[in-house]
Structure 1
C-alpha cells in the first residue's frame, strides 16, 4: 500500500495544478509521514482500555519498542500485529482507512494527523472527543479531522449467554426475548412485587369478613378503627408496589424496543439489495411490526402472566375460608382457559390474512404517493382508487370477524364470572344453613372470587392479542431471514494495501425468483489506470455489472476480487473507502443541499465548495437565498433530474475513491454541464485510479476512454481499444444503411441498439 501511495505522490507532484487537488497532496504526505511515526503507546493503551482489552502498560511499552527495533520501516499495521503477537492478544484485527470514508459508528479509533496520533471517540451533541499522546482532551467537529488517517481496531465479540427462551424457527421472537431477559433482575423484582400485591389482596377479604362477623353485630368501633388503619397501610403499600412495578416494566419494554428496533434497522440497511422485497411498503410494514410487539409487552401482559398462577392461590384461600365454595371457582378455571385457547386458534389464520392484506395496502399507498404524477398524467386515479377500496373492504371484513371472535370470548368470560358468583352464593347459603359458614366468610369468598376471575378474563384477552403479536413477529422474522451483505459470524478481511485491480471470474447473476440471467461473464479484469466505457442496449447488463462491482449485488456464482481478496470477504468499510458508485437514478434525502452532498458528514467546507464549483452545483445554491442550506424534500422533489444527477456526482467526487463506477453520469445533463463533468473527471481521477462509465453515448469513449466494452444480454461481446471497437460499430452502421431504404434511414437501428458516434466530429447517431 505504501509503495502505491509513494508512486501516486510522485505522479501528483509532476502533474499540473489542475490534476492534483490540495487535499490529495496533504493525504499522500500524511501517508509518508505515517511510515516514520513510532507507535503511540499511550493512545494505543487508551484505545485498548476502551475496547475492554486488558494489557499491562509496561508490557505494551516493551512490545512497541521491539516492534520499532525489528520492523523500523514496516507499515504501522504490521508493527501493530507484531505488538499483538508479543502480548498474546488474540481476536484483534487492524485496518487503515481515510477519515472521510470511515464509518464513524465504529469509534473509538486512533487517528493520525499532522499533529500526531490522537484517540477519537463520540461525545455529546454530535461532537467528537479527541485525546492526544499526553492525555490532553478536547472537543472537535467531524470536519476538523477530514485529512486524518484512521487506525481502527476490531475486537472479537464475546459470546453472550443464551436466553432462557429457545424459540426455534423465529429469529425475531428469539431476538425480542433474548433482549428482554438478558438482564433478569427486573423479572425477579416484578415477581416479588406481584407476590406481595396478591398476598395483600387477601387482606381486603379478611377485612370484610371481620367487619361483618364482629364489628356489625357488636358495633365495636374500636376494632373497626384498628382494621381501617391497617387497611390504609395495605392500600398505600399496594399503590407503591404497583407503581414501581409498572415503571419497571415500562423502562424494560422501552429498552428492549430501542435495542431490537435498532438491530432490525441495521439489518435492513445491510440487506443484499438484490434480495430485498420489491415492495417498499411491504418492507416498511414488516419492520414496523415491532410496534405491536412493544405495545403488547408494555400493556401489562407480564403482570397477567404472573398473576395467573395466583388464581390457584385464591381458590385455595376460598376453600380455606368457605369450604365447598372453592369447588365452584376451581371448575370455572379450566373452562375459561379452554375458551381462550379456542379463541386464539380461530384468530390465527384470520389475523394472518388480515396482515397480508394490510401489507398490500401499505405497498399500494407508497406506490401511489411516489407515482402521483404518473397516475394523474395517465388518468389512472380511478384504477388505484378501486384497488384501495377492494383491499380496504377485505381488511374491514377480516376486522369485523376478528372483533366478533374477541367479543365472544370477552362476553363469555364475563358470563362465566357472573355464573360463578351466583353459584358461590347458592353454595354459601347452604353452608350457612349447615352452620359451616358465616355471613362475613361468604362475603370474603365473593371478594376473593373476583381475584380469580380477573386474571382469567385478562388471560383470555391476551390469548387473542398474542395472535397479533405472533403475526407481527413472523413478519419481522421474514426480514431477518433475508441475507445481509456479510454474514454476522463472518471473519472479514482487512487488507492494508490499495487495490491495483478489480476482477471477475465466472460471474453469473440473476435476480431472486427470476429465470433471466442478468450477467454471464467468464473473466474480466480492470487494472489501475483503466478508463473504461461500457456500451450496450437497454437491459444488456451494464448497470447490473456496475452494481456487482460495487458489492451491492452478490452473484450466484463466481468471484469478484478487489485487489487480492474476495470482495465479499472484505470489511464493507474498507470497500466503501476504495469504491464509489453513482446510480443511474440518484436519490436525494430530506435535508439540505449540503447534507445531501456530504452524506457521511465528514467533508470540509473548502473541499465541498471546490467540488461544487467544478460540477456547477454552486449555481443550484446561487438560485436560492439559502445557498447550500437550500431545503431538499424526500426524493429530491423541487430539483430537476439533471440537478439531482449533479448532486450524485458531487457525492462521488467528495468520496475520492480508488475505483469510480458511474452509471449514465451525463444522461440528464445539458451540453454545458456535461462538458463540466467530463473536465472535472479528468482533473480529479488520479493516474492509477480505475474509472468505469456506463453510457449509451460512445462520444464519451472517444474523449476519455482507453478501453471500450460492449455488452449484450449480460455478456461481453467486444472488449478493446476505443478506435478498434468504435470502428466496428461504424462499419455495422454503414452496412445497415446500405440495406435499408432512405425513408427509414432517420430511424435506423441495429440489433445492439446503442448510440454510435462519429469519432472525429463527436456527432451522435442513434443506431
Structure 2
C-alpha cells in the first residue's frame, strides 16, 4: 500500500498541470487535494505500523537470540576451547549487528524492489519510450553492486576479526587492571591496543570505500535518470507526444523507480556484515553442549563414591598430556588429599571431577556412573567445589552464597557461613549479608573472599567436597580455627583436599601424590608422609 500511495503524487501533479491549470478547475483541485490529504494520512499510519513491526523484529532478535547465546555460553564445552574472554564478549555483541540489519529501514527496500516494475509500467503508459532512460541506467547499479560483493564479503570478515581482537585487548586490560598497574604492563598492552586500533581502522576504511562506490553509483544513476527523462521529455513535448504534466510525472516516477536501488546498495553493505556476524554466532551455537547427547541419568542418591580409571587428559591446544593413566578410587565418606609439585595435575583432577572437562580417554565415575552420562548441573549441585581463584559475582554477599538456590533457607546459609568463618566479619558489617559487592568482590581481602567462596561450597551439605588450597589466604591462627570447624563439616562426606600445607593433611586419612600427571604414591597419610620424607633427603 505504501508503494502504491507513492505513485499518487506523480498522478496528482500530472492531473493538476494537464487538467486543472488549463481549465482553471478550482473545484477539481479541491477534490484532488482532499483525496491526496486522505492518502497522506493513511500513508503516515502505514509507515508507523511498518516501523513498529520492524522494531518488534529487532526486539525479538535481542531477546530470543540473546537468551539462546547466553545459554550456549553457560553450557559450552571447555575442552573445545572458548577463546579469549574479550573475543567471546565481542562475538556476543554482534547480536547488535543482526538486530540493526533486521530492524533497519533498509530492509524494507526488499519489499520495494518488485514495485520497480509497476513504476516503470506506469511511466511507460504516460511517457512511452521515455521509460528506456531509467531502464538503460539500472544495469549500471546492478553491475557495480555485483562487482563489489566479493570484496565486501572478504572485508566484512576481516573487519569483524579485527573488532574481536580489539575487544579482547580491552577486556583483558580492564579485567586485570590492578595487575597491569602493579606489574607495569601498561606499555605492552598500549602497543597491543594501538595495533588493534590501526588494524581495525584500516579494515573499516577499506570496507567503507568499497561500499561508498555502490551507494554513490546508485545516487548518480538516480540523478541521471531524472535529468535524462527531462531532456528526452522536452523532445516528446515538441513532437506533441507528451504533455507538460506528463513530463513532470515521468520525472517523479523515474526517481521513484531508481530510488529502491540506492537503498538496495546500502542494504548490500549491511548484509555482508550481518552474514559474517551470523556465521560467527552460528558457529558458536553449533558447538556441542556439555553433558550427554541424550537424556541424562538422574542422580537420586549420590553416595560420594569416586573412581578414576586409566584417565588421560590434554587441555585444548596443549602439546602434552596433563594427566596420564591416572587411576585411583575414593570410597564414599573417605577423606583424601592430593599433593604434588606445581603442574602435577591436582587441580586438573578436580576440574574433571565436576565435569568442566571430559577425559581424553578413560573413565571418571561418580557413584559407579560415568559422569558423561550425568547432567553437569545435577552433578555440580551435589558437589561443593572451592578453587583457588575465589571469584565473586557482582551483587550482595547473600546472593554470592546462595547463587539463586531456592531450596536453601537462611538458617542453612548462616550455618555454612559460620563454618567458613565468613560470619565473623559479615556480622560486623552495617549491611551484613545485603552488602553489595563490586566486580569480582573488589574491596574485600583475599581471606574474606575465600571464606565467602567456602560458604558457597558448603551450603546445602553436598555429599562431595573438593577444596583446593582452602586456607591459602588466611593466617595460621585463622587456619587452626577453620580446621576445627571443617572437621565436623567433613564427617560422613567425601573430601578431596588439594594442598601444599602439611598442617591440612591432619584432615585426611589418605594421600595421593602426583608428579607430571601421574600417580606416584597412594596410601594412608602416615605411610605416604614417611615415604616422602625418605625421598626428599635422597633428592
Give the TM-score range, shorter chain: over 0.9
Pairs within 5 Å for 1:204-353: 204-353=9-158
Is 1:539 the equivalent of 2:343?
yes
Contact 1:324 1:427 survives alignment (8 Å): no
What is the distance in 1 between the residues matched to 2:288 and 2:81? Answer: 9
Most deviating of 342-351 and 588-597: 342-351
**Kept after mapping to 1: 8 A contact 2:326/2:519:** no
- Give 2:495's aligned residue: 691
1-structure distance, mates of 2:425, 2:527 = 40
- The equivalent of 1:455 in structure 2 is 260
**By how many angstroms is 1:522 displaced?**
4.5
CA displacement at 1:500 relative to structure 2: 4.7
Q: CA deviation at 1:307?
A: 0.9
Aligned-residue offset at 1:265: 0.4
Give CA-to-partner distance per residue, 1:397-425, whole Å, 9 cap, x none.
22222222222222221111111111112
Secondary structure in 1 matching 2:459: helix
Contact 2:304 2:464 in 1 (8 A): no
Instruction: Specify the alignment match of 2:308 in structure 1.
Output: 504
Deviation at 1:495, TM superposition (A): 4.0
In structure 1, C-alpha distance between the alignment counterparts of 2:81 and 2:330, rounded to whole Å = 29
SS of the equivalent of 2:342 reads coil
Aligned to 1:201: 6
**1:105-133: CA deviation from partner (whole Å, max 9, x where unpaired):** xxxxxxxxxxxxxxxxxxxxxxxxxxxxx
- Structure 2 counterpart of 1:748: none
Match for residue 596 of structure 1 among 370, 389, 400: 400
Unpaired runs of 5+ residues, structure 2, are: none
What is the match of residue 380 of structure 1?
185
Answer whether contact 2:166 2:200 (CA < 8 A) is retained.
Answer: no
Q: Does 1:560 align with 2:364?
A: yes
For 1:113-262, list aligned pairs within 5 A: 196-262=1-67
Q: Is the 8 A contact 2:339 2:512 kept in 1?
A: yes
What is the deviation of 1:332? 2.4
Residue in 2 aligned with 1:35?
A: none
Aligned-partner Cα distance in 2 for 1:694–1:551: 17
Q: Which residue of 2 aligns with 1:85?
A: none
Residues 416, 437 of structure 1: CA spacing in aligned structure 2 closer, same or farther, 3 A cutoff?
Answer: same
Other structure's SS at 1:719 match: strand
Q: Runs of 5+ in structure 1 lacking a partner?
A: 1-195, 737-767
Alignment of 1:700 with 2:521, yes or no, is no
Alignment partner, residue 676 of structure 1: 481
C-alpha contact (below 8 Å) 1:589/1:632 kept by paired residues? yes
1:517 maps to 2:317: no
Q: Displacement, 1:588? A: 0.6
Structure 2 match to 1:366: 171
- CA–CA distance in structure 1, aligned partners of residues 97 and 511 of structure 2: 54
1:551 aligns with 2:355: yes
Cα offsets for 1:614-658 (capped at 9, x unmatched): 222123224432222222111111112121111111001113111
Q: CA 1:358–1:629 in 2, change beyond 3 Å: closer, same or farther? A: same
Aligned with 1:714 (options 505, 517, 520): 517
For residues 349-387 of structure 1, the C-alpha deviation after alignment (integer angstroms, 9 at most, x for no partner) is: 223222222212211112222222332223332222222
Distance in structure 1 (CA, Å) of the matches to 2:191 and 2:399:
40
Give the structure-2-normalised TM-score. 0.96
- Identify which of 330, 333, 352 aligns with 1:529: 333
Given candidates 583, 587, 611, the residue that maps to 2:416 is 611
CA contact (8 A) 1:615 1:676 kept: no
Whether the 8 Å contact between 2:327 and 2:519 is mirrored in structure 1 is: no
- Equivalent pairs counted in the alignment come to 538
Corresponding residue SS for 2:245: helix
Q: Secondary structure at the match of 1:386?
A: helix
Change in 2 beyond 3 A, CA 1:375/1:577:
closer
Q: 1:274 to 1:679 in 2, by over 3 A?
A: farther
- Distance between the aligned counterparts of 1:574 and 1:593, measured in 2? 24
Helix, strand or coil: the match of 1:691? strand
The equivalent position to 1:586 in structure 2, one of 373, 390, 404, is 390
TM-score normalised by length of structure 1: 0.68
More relative contact order in 1 or in 2 (CA 8 Å, sep 6+)? 2
Gap change, CA 1:564 and 1:613, over 3 Å in 2: closer
In structure 2, the residue matched to 1:472 is: 277
- Check the 8 A contact 2:323/2:516 in 1, yes or no: yes
Find the counterpart in structure 2 of residue 396 from structure 1: 201
CA contact (8 A) 2:79 2:358 kept: yes
